[in-house]
Amino acid sequence: LPSRLTPTQKNVWIEYVQLAEDYKPLNLGLGFPDYAPPNYVTQTLAQIAKSGDCLLHQYTRDYGHPRLVSALSQLYSRLVKRPINPQTEILTTVGAFEALFSTIIGHVDQGDEVIIIEPFFECYEPMVKMAGGVPKFIPLRLKDLPPNQVPTSGDWILDKDELEGLFTPKTKLLVLNNPHDPLGKVFKLEELQHIADLCKKWNVLCVSDEVYEWIVYKPNKHIRIATLPGMWDRTITIGSAGKTFSVTGWKLGWAYGPSNLLYNLQMVHQNSVYTGNTPIQEVVAIGLEKELECLDRDHCYFNSISSELVVKRDFMVKVLSEVGMKPTVPEGGYFMVADWTPLESQIDLSSEKDKWKDYRFTKWMTKNLGLQGIPPSAFYTERDKSLAENFVRYCFFKKHDNLEEAARILKKWK
Ligand code: PMP
């Protein structure tokens, strides 16, 4: 294996997908809905498949299907309150994953430092290392709360001085994930302002992974860091059709930002993927056009998705609390972390041999109770994994029957 690939070897998804194959648990591990996406989205897919426009089945423009970059430009021009050029300031990619890859490989040089906030979406660290960069980590920490107060993701905060201390003349880039996976944190204006001020002070680029931009629970509001003064010029923002329309298998994403920054991504894209899937880009373009027509109304999917999910969130918080875990109530996204250690004395984890306790707990639970979660220490660098050992991550974007089943499993055990 070339040395640049060694950090990529261990991957929690490969391990836990196999675990699910072997034990067939009720799976609250993986991050996707287990029921149908919005009707109009799948209907549009069917219409495109049957349409007489045979060119929709052939290669499209390399940096993004024209109808899609046009729709993205309309949408984000409105949201970031500046005109976004569909030709030069947007790139469509194979999922947000490729957008992250093209950004990191396209901007990070040998020895460049990259600031990553823990817990982080697992690919950030290996991508930085593959680029020859040096990741620098800072954890979000749960602040001290009165014993009976239920924590929210807003209670997970960055220490300002610690963050400031990570910036050096070698810092090239900071990766922000907002709304945050797995905590569900929706960064407040004041928190974003602090990050933005440091990026400006040290001339650092900001990669803002905003794949959960439409999943934000009231009264929280998603603020795009690219809209803060002076930030457009140094921010690449990343989105995902998979998350936006609840179709994660479609693997279509995008990045937008100023053309000089997007150019580097285009270079990686044109020499690896070259051009994305045409019919899926057409369908997503039509979906965005429809959403644009109703953006301020409740029935719009971009608004209704959070009302649909908040019910599931509250159900899971209640169930996990009733069985004795301590969930953190997410302000956005469709994951929840919970401290499972109040139950520790009732479990014998000695059959599991993993180094980290959250791995042992999640494996034990999959095998013995038939319920799967993900060990969040997977989202921390080796140095900090112990910070996550007391937690488990569940995805609650599941049909109500399955959440009820999870509740039954947990309550029967308790
Ligand atoms: N970023 C985050 C924070 C994610 O949670 C995910 C998917 N789980 C991605 C990026 C990747 O998105 P996509 O499926 O569009 O590649």
What is the pLDDT averaged over residues 41-67? 96
Cβ of 186: how many Cβ atoms within 10 Å? Answer: 25
> For residues 26 and 365, is the Cβ–Cβ distance under 8 A?
no
Q: Which of these, 90, 94, 134, 144, lies nearest to 114 by C-alpha position?
A: 134
- Distance of alpha carbon 369 from alpha carbon 396, whole angstroms: 18
> For residues 330 and 336, is the Cβ–Cβ distance under 8 A?
yes
DSSP 119: S
**3 state DSSP class of 20:** helix
CA 378, 382, 384, 385 dihedral sign is positive
Nearest CA to ligand 1 atom 8: 31
- Residue 395 near ligand 1, beta carbon < 6 Å: no
For 141-153, the pLDDT digits (tens) are 999 999 889 999 9
Written as one string, the DSSP assignment of 122-168 is: TTHHHHHHHTT-EEEEEE-EEPP--TTPPPBGGGEE--HHHHHHH--
- Residue 64 near ligand 1, beta carbon < 6 Å: no
- Residue 213 near ligand 1, beta carbon < 6 Å: no
Asked if pLDDT for residue 80 goes beyond 70, the answer is yes
pLDDT classification of 414: cutoffs 50, 70, 90: confident
Q: Which of these, 390, 391, 394, 393, lies nearest to 405 by C-alpha position?
A: 394
pLDDT classification of 221: cutoffs 50, 70, 90: very high
> For residues 225 and 231, is the Cβ–Cβ distance under 8 A?
yes
Spacing, Cα 357 to ligand 1 middle (Å): 26
For 304-329, the pLDDT digits (tens) are 999 999 999 999 999 999 999 999 99
- Residue 209 near ligand 1, beta carbon < 6 Å: yes
Spacing, Cα 297 to ligand 1 middle (Å): 26
Q: Please give the distance of CA 25 from its chain centroid, rounded to a whole number.
A: 24
Spacing, Cα 240 to ligand 1 middle (Å): 7
pLDDT of residue 150: 94
Spacing, Cα 120 to ligand 1 middle (Å): 11
Burial of 157 (0-12, 13-18, 19+ CB in 10 A): middle
Q: Which CATH fold topology does 40-294 show?
A: Aspartate Aminotransferase; domain 2 (3.40.640)
> For residues 155 and 134, is the Cβ–Cβ distance under 8 A?
no
Q: Where are the domains of the chain?
A: 3-37+301-413, 40-294
What is the pLDDT averaged over residues 154-164? 98
**pTM confidence score:** 0.97
The preferred substitution site among 211, 238, 246 for testing ligand 1, maximizing ligand atoms within 8 Å of CB, is: 211
Give the homologous superfamily in CATH for domain 3-37+301-413: Aspartate Aminotransferase, domain 1 (3.90.1150.10)
- Residue 113 near ligand 1, beta carbon < 6 Å: no
For 323-354, the pLDDT digits (tens) are 999 999 999 999 999 999 999 998 999 999 99
Residue type for 346, please? Q
Beta carbons within 8 Å of 241's beta carbon, 6+ residues apart:
247, 250, 252, 253, 254, 280, 284, 287
Beta carbons within 8 Å of 89's beta carbon, 6+ residues apart:
73, 256, 257, 258, 259, 262
Spacing, Cα 54 to ligand 1 middle (Å): 31
User: Can you tell me which residue has the tokens 């009820």?
Assistant: 404
